[in-house]
């Protein structure tokens, strides 16, 4: 097949099954060598991409339980490992289930542009990166509310 994007899900042991699939490896290899968009989330960057050399020279991230398995180039050992979604050229990686919506919207942007990603995100009520400060009755994970007089 000839695709614009191959996105590999994470999770265990699924990522191991994908990594060990010989036919899928040849598909990934061909796609990677063609310089096409590749994406992995959760365990997939560390289990499916890193051992095959697909991340060599790329900044990447993975699930916190697997991020230490990313290694090799200096670029991989950087501040990017704790980022929620990392885009480096044609490689898009993300951390896990909690970042999957951002990862998916990033892939829409990579394929169709920023306006398309915003159009897809709008009806889902995705919190923008520049969200206003929350009020005392609003809940957001790990954010202190602004008290109002």
| Sign of CA pseudo-dihedral 45, 49, 51, 57 | negative
Catalytic residue among 31, 63, 80, 106: 63
Annotated active-site residue 106? The verdict is no
Catalytic residue among 31, 42, 48, 80: 42
Annotated active-site residue 63? The verdict is yes
What is residue 133's DSSP assignment? P
Tell me phi and psi for residue 34, to 5 degrees: -80, -5
Q: Look-up: residue for tokens 């997939």?
A: 44
Q: Judging by DSSP bridges, how do beta strands 85-88 and 37-41 pair with one another?
A: unpaired
| Sign of CA pseudo-dihedral 138, 142, 146, 147 | positive
Question: Residues with catalytic annotation?
Answer: 42, 63
């Amino acid at each position: 097949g000839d695709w614009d994007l191959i996105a590999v899900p994470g999770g265990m042991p699924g990522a191991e099954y994908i990594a060990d699939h010989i036919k899928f490896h040849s598909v990934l290899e061909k796609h990677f060598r063609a310089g096409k968009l590749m994406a992995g989330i959760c365990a997939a960057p560390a289990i499916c991409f890193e051992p095959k050399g697909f991340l060599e020279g790329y900044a990447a991230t993975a699930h916190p339980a697997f991020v230490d398995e990313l290694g090799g180039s200096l670029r991989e050992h950087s501040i990017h490992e704790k980022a929620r979604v990392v885009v480096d050229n044609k490689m898009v990686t993300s951390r896990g289930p909690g970042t999957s919506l951002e990862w998916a919207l990033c892939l829409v942007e990579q394929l169709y542009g920023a306006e398309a990603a915003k159009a897809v995100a709008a009806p889902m009520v995705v919190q923008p990166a520049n969200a206003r400060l929350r009020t005392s009755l609003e809940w957001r994970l790990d954010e202190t509310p602004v008290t109002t007089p």
